Amino acid sequence: MIGLATAGFVPTQWECEGEEETETASKLTPIAVLVLTALATTAQAAPMDLEDALAIFQGDRVVVEYNSQGRAQLEAAIEAIKNALSVPADLDEESEREVNAFFVAMEERELVVKLSQGYFTLGVIFADGRDEEETAYRKGKHWGLKSLRVNPGFSAVEEREGFLAAVSQETNAPALYWPGLNWLSLANFDRLTAVSSGVVKKTIAMLERVLELDEAYDAHGAYRVLGSIWGALPWAPLGTYRRDLEQTRTYLCHVVDDPRVCGNLAQGYVDPICSEYLGNRRVFAEFYLTEKGLWADAAAVLQSIIDAPIGQTYRLFNPNAQDDARRLLEEVAKHL
């Protein structure tokens, strides 16, 4: 499916309202995995203070290099944030109940959001195998939901009216976005369960609310992820949550500039940052063009990703998108 870091529907076993989840799939190419594994024993970042840890979170991006040293820096930053929050060493981050019970003051909320973002990035970019990826997403999901429930207003509405009602009144876009991505990334490994357990309904609501609050967040990432969801859902003859490529096209045409596909939609201006973020094009190729059988068009888009400059803004995520594009292009070439 997709690497959510570059955008899309990606999850596996659950912990929905107290139930535990499990999902994962390595996003690195075999070569990249071998390189990271070989260097893992030598790339250990020194312990970080909180100021240095927060410096790698630049707005909606994690800024480290796409190598084993970058992974070590991200892991050190996560530990520094947990230390700042006084998270006990024996707290089980894979238990939603334990994370929920851990006290965090409202003024520390942004640190918890960054934990969710950091774990998502660790899972989608650096995880070596399904177990690592699943663990990172689950921890990221739990801290992300914690960042929502730290807000007394969210918790009160959730208790009184339910999760969806609480989402509809939340005003912090990142606090909705990162748990949504982690949750989806778990659900990706069992998409039918994701639908029947309500995960898809809840995460779509979270991402739609992000669009209302800050549609440009993460290179217009909510459009990208929503497009991938509708392109990745199971085919079904009935039901609300089933594959819908017209929905995919509608969302993705906010982040890709392709007049042949998007010309009859009134989406208007596409922010240039969307072209700079190569994951937008990768999701377009994987979840729309290939699903429509437009193999030559998909190949051309994937090749454009591979040939594009990495740039400085997304120097962690764009190399990952290029690795995904190379893998996908091998599959697409079989249909040409």
- Does residue 30 have a pLDDT over 90? no
Q: Which residue has the higher pLDDT, 195 or 76?
A: 76
Q: Which CATH architecture does the domain made up of 16-333 adopt?
A: Alpha Horseshoe (1.25)
> Domain-by-domain residue ranges, the chain?
16-333
What integer pLDDT is reported at residue 11 of this predicted model?
A: 31
Alpha-carbon separation of residue 293 from 6, 9, 237, 334 (angstroms) = 22, 20, 20, 12
% of the chain exceeding 70 in pLDDT? 86
- What does the pLDDT average to over 90-116? 97
Q: How many residues does this entry show for the chain? A: 336
pLDDT digits (tens, 9 = 90+) for 142-191: 999 999 999 999 999 999 999 999 999 999 999 999 999 999 998 887 77
- Does residue 1 have a pLDDT over 50? no
- Does residue 222 have a pLDDT over 50? yes
Helices marked H in 215-308 — which ranges?
217-232, 245-252, 259-262, 273-276, 278-284, 295-307
**Residue among 128, 119, 112 at smallest CA distance from 94:** 119
pLDDT digits (tens, 9 = 90+) for 34-93: 444 444 444 566 789 999 999 999 989 999 999 999 999 999 999 999 999 999 999 999
**Residue among 251, 288, 245, 243 at smallest CA distance from 267:** 251
pLDDT digits (tens, 9 = 90+) for 110-128: 999 999 999 999 999 999 9
Secondary structure (DSSP) of 22-42:
B-----S-HHHHHHHHHHTTT
pLDDT digits (tens, 9 = 90+) for 237-267: 888 899 999 999 999 999 998 988 998 886 7
The model carries a pTM of 0.87
- Does residue 272 have a pLDDT over 70? yes
**57 SS3 class:** strand
Phi, psi of 241, deg, nearest 5: -100, 85
**Which two three-digit tokens encode residue 229?**
């969801």
- Where does the pLDDT of residue 309 fall: very low under 50, low under 70, confident under 90, or very high at 90 and above? very high
- What does the pLDDT average to over 203-231? 97
CA–CA separation, 26 and 5 (whole Å): 12
**Which two three-digit tokens encode residue 29?**
């190419």
Q: How many CB atoms lie within 10 A of CB 240?
A: 11
- Where does the pLDDT of residue 235 fall: very low under 50, low under 70, confident under 90, or very high at 90 and above? confident
